[in-house]
Chain A
Amino acid sequence: MLQRIRTAPPRYWLVAIVILFFVGWPTVISSFQTSEWSQAIILAIAIMGLNILVGYSGQLSLGHGAFMALGAYTSAILAHRYKMDYLATIPIAGLLTGLVGFLFGVPALRLSPLYLALATFALAVVTPSLIKRPAELTGGVQGISLAPPDPPQFVADAYGGLTGTLMTSDQWIYYITLGYALLLFWLAWNLVRHRSGRAMRAIRDGEVAAAASGVNIAGYKTLAFGISALYAGIAGSLFGLATSFVSPDTFPVSLSIQLLVGAVVGGLASIPGPLLGGIFAYFLPIESNQLVPTLSWIPSQIASTVIKAGPAVSYGVVLILIMIFAPSGLVGLVTTAYTRLRRRLRGANDREAGQMPPDPQTIS
């Protein structure tokens, strides 16, 4: 065991450090900030789902906000109308959304990527008005308010024993969210490393070649859609938990854009990418909104306009710049830098030993 720990590759250490950071973080920051970080992690979960679809199976969805809405409303309705425990509704919401996504994936099979983008975008735009219609079920424009959950006694006791402070509802929600994030990221990591992940990537890189190699194209494409929707559904359900409120305006088309920004910025087809992307996409508008009113050169009467327009402008600029200059996102930038650095170091050693440096083609 000790031997295994000592020889573990550096990225396992990195993962362990990141997990420890996220576990300890709420004990350092305020309760309000904890709630913000919960929402960032929730976005990261939905972005992971989008990443499985876009990054690994090569199908573009611009409507993942709609799947989040479905997950959130499933939980909210079960908890509010049928008095279920909200925590018990989260897996139900995930499975139901996954099933709907799977069914949605069947007609999507026949569509070219462009048409799929178009149809899902239309879905994202229509979602708020679709939610408003069955008003007696969804609460219409007013939405559904939910009671924030209190941590169960044994959790609160354990937390109090460890930190000496009382566990707030926000912190409890944060740890639930973190738990789901760990589970879902671990599942995604396993998925992409094994048979199904390889099949999906083969489809993405060349459908005909994949089919010729015996990959079940239709099966894996719909599977990717289903899994992706499951992630979005769980994220939506957690979102309702974190904000104690769902309404049609919680799920505008800009939410779907925000998810896409996160996926692209973090890096498509990578596992750490969605985490970075979620944090980025969540905090970018918040931080810029906090910054704007403090800047004295912006007149106060237009500050509110700047706050409203700021996220759209920055998201747009980021999307375009990343796609043009760094299509593999933040993770891509970091890996390229790391590979270059290592090659340079190793190249220096090799030259000393009188050997040729390895062919760059064979490394990547």
Chain B
Amino acid sequence: MQGLLQQIISGVATGGIFASLALALVLIYNAMGLVNFAQGEMAMLATFVAFTLIDHGMSYWIAFPVALVIAFAGGIAIQRVVIRPVERAPILTMVIVTLGLATLVNGLAGFIFGYVPRSFPSPFSVQTVDILGAFVSYRDLGVIAVSTVVLLAIYLLLQRTTVGLTLRAAAHHPEASRLLGVRVSWMLALGWGLASAVGAVSGIMAAPILLLEPNMMQTIIIYAFAAAVLGGIESPLGAVVGGVIVGVTVNLAGTYLPFVGGDLQLAVALAIIVGVLILKPNGLFGRPSVRRV
């Protein structure tokens, strides 16, 4: 029983990592109806930035926000340079461009930082604390806390501020917003910046667990896909709930299903994606889509 509780809490922690990246995917999906295949790689690059800052003697708690700001600026720059030229192109074209971006960023990171896995510092110790008889590491609790803060911050930004309102307006009714004086294209760029920063949180949280190297996010992005699809790809709340569900499910399946074990956890994510898309394509919180002729 304690073992089960332990696995669930640890699953919630990994779920927080998936949720942040899934939220980043949802932000961009809401802004332009596109799944950004480069989201994980962008997060990986931001994590390398944080690593470099810490490596040069900066304290973790300063390097963390600085890396997020750099990720934010990088996200805006990517939208301006790479995505904007294909903004009006068919969805197929945009997806291929984000895939190209993913490949490019992955290669660039390998080029600059090499392929040797590095250990990434974590401010939380791996020592465990006893909660209701389950041994939970401070690192897991820290990951849960940081994810919660970030997700809350995004929620408040979107729902309670003028910028958030403009962002949502530009995404849902671009023409009307333009008439009201909203600079829609820059709002899309802002969406990319935000998504990039939120994704970076997930990378920085994942790095101490996985070891930092250019392919680190290649599996996380699949879990994030599963989380976003499960929650309903246009729902920020869904991304968070989906992330936690995916994190716990994968963790429990890896522990208790001998067939799955450690190496087929990713297949569980694939099964979730395919299952949701076939049985309930709008996910848990998504609106049913209406096709316009």
Contacts and interface: CB of A to CB of B under 8 A. Distances in A.
Whether both chains belong to one complex is answered with: yes
Contact of A260 (B35, B86, B99, B273): B99
Given A126-B270, A129-B266, A323 B93 contact: yes
A132 B37 CA distance: 26
A60 B102 contact: no
Interface residues of B, number: 48
B99 A257 contact: yes
Interface string B234-276: 0000000000000000000000000000011011011001100
Interface in A305-325: 305-306, 308-320, 323-324
B225 to A, nearest CB: 5
A208 B105 CA distance: 38
Interface stretch (B108-116, B144-152, B178-186): B108-116
B129 interface: no
Contacts of A260: 96, 99
Interface in A113-143: 113-115, 117-119, 121-123, 125-126, 129-130, 132-133
A337 interface: no
A163 B289 CA distance: 64
B107 A316 contact: yes
A193 interface: no
Contact of A319 (B97, B226, B277): B97
Contacts of B277: 107, 110-111, 115, 119
B222 interface: yes
B101 interface: yes
Interface string B95-129: 11101111111111011001100000000000000
B270 A114 contact: no
A58 B270 CA distance: 23
B97 A125 contact: no
A40 interface: no
B1 interface: no
Given A133-B264, A316-B103, 4 more contacts: A133-B263, A313-B103, A314-B107, A316-B100
29 contacts: A54-B92, A110-B278, A114-B91, A114-B95, A115-B281, A118-B229, A119-B273, A119-B274, A121-B222, A122-B225, A122-B226, A122-B269, A125-B218, A126-B267, A126-B269, A126-B270, A264-B96, A305-B111, A305-B114, A305-B115, A308-B115, A309-B108, A309-B110, A310-B111, A314-B107, A315-B100, A316-B102, A319-B103, A327-B89
Closest 6 CB pairs between A and B?
Answer: A316-B104, A319-B100, A312-B107, A313-B107, A309-B110, A316-B103
Interface of B: 33-35, 37, 82, 85-86, 89, 91-93, 95-97, 99-108, 110-111, 114-115, 214, 218-219, 222, 225-226, 229, 263-264, 266-267, 269-270, 273-274, 277-278, 281, 289, 293
